[in-house]
């Protein structure tokens, strides 16, 4: 368990929704944290060794645990957890079992990673037509940058907000903390809920493609030049 009482009674507007969370880092886990905060039953699927965010601080001074950093605990509150090795032949089958009766799958792998693991979104949607599959990546599922990785400051710069922030006498800087990645996660949560509403109303699921670059470029509240 990650911060969820075994005997807790689910509450909130999403209490009847089940989410399988294959995401790692900040963007996807923040998306699913928001869903869990509103009552969804979120099952976090971690690789052997755990989500790399486990080793991101801050850490409690005592006792010291390098597998439960404060950021990880914050992002994964109210979730249940299971370890699945998708590199093993049975890994995809375990995830498919988890998806039976689930409403949403959230993942942050590189484009094509799900398909390589035997979990191609199109195949999952064919098996469960009302499923919502949300993929959160740096530059989206298509386009010339689809296979590129990204640091948060790159998203802040390429997305545009850095154009009107910072100090001319200093090197380029971004917003403090993980605000850019969390904004991407919040955008993904909103997009996922929109797709979920359609699925619940019409029984039609879809593959939601969220690019962190686009969440920055598309949410500028500043005048463009």
Write down the residue that tokens 């904004």 correspond to: 183
Give the highest mean pLDDT range of 1-15, 24-38, 61-75.
Answer: 24-38
Categorize the per-residue pLDDT at 64 as very low, low, confident or very high, splitting at 50, 70 and 90: low
Tokens of 170: 């200093």
Structure confidence at residue 175 as a pLDDT band (50, 70, 90): confident
pLDDT at 58: 80
Q: Which residue has the higher pLDDT, 183 or 1?
A: 183
Task: Give the bridge partners for 202, in sequence order.
Answer: none
Residue 4, number of CB atoms within 10 A of its CB:
16
The CATH architecture annotation of domain 18-214 reads 3-Layer(aba) Sandwich (3.40)
Give the Cα separation of 51 and 211 in Å (integer).
20
> Cα(77)–Cα(67) distance, rounded to whole angstroms?
15
DSSP state of 42: E
Compute the mean pLDDT over every residue in the chain, rounded to the nearest whole number: 89
Residue 137 has what pLDDT?
Answer: 97
**Stretch among 54-63, 88-97, 151-160 having the lowest mean pLDDT:** 54-63
Q: pTM, whole model, 2 decimals?
A: 0.89
Residue 223 has pLDDT above 50, yes or no: no
Indicate if the pLDDT at residue 23 is higher than 60.
Answer: yes
Q: According to the model, what pLDDT value does residue 63 have?
A: 60
Confidence of residue 56 (pLDDT cuts 50, 70, 90): confident
């Amino acid at each position: 368990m990650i911060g969820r009482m075994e005997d807790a009674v689910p509450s909130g507007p999403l209490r009847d929704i089940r989410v399988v969370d294959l995401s790692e880092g900040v963007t996807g886990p923040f998306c699913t944290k928001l869903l869990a905060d509103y009552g969804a039953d979120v099952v976090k699927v971690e690789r052997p060794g755990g989500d790399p965010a486990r080793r991101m601080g801050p850490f409690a001074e005592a006792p010291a645990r390098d597998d439960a950093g404060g950021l990880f605990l914050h992002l994964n509150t109210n979730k249940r957890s299971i370890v699945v090795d998708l590199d093993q032949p049975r890994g995809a089958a375990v995830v498919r079992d988890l998806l039976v009766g689930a409403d949403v799958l959230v993942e942050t792998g590189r484009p094509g990673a799900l398909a390589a693991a035997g979990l191609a979104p199109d195949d999952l949607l064919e098996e469960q037509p009302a499923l919502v599959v949300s993929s959160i990546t740096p530059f989206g599922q298509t386009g010339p940058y689809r296979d590129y990785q990204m640091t948060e400051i790159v998203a802040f710069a390429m997305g545009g907000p850095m154009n009107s922030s910072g100090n001319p006498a200093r090197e380029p800087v971004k917003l403090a903390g993980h605000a850019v990645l969390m904004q991407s996660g919040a955008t993904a949560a909103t997009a996922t809920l929109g797709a979920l509403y359609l699925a619940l109303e019409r029984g039609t699921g879809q593959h939601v493609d969220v690019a962190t670059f686009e969440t920055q470029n598309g949410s500028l509240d500043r005048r463009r030049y």
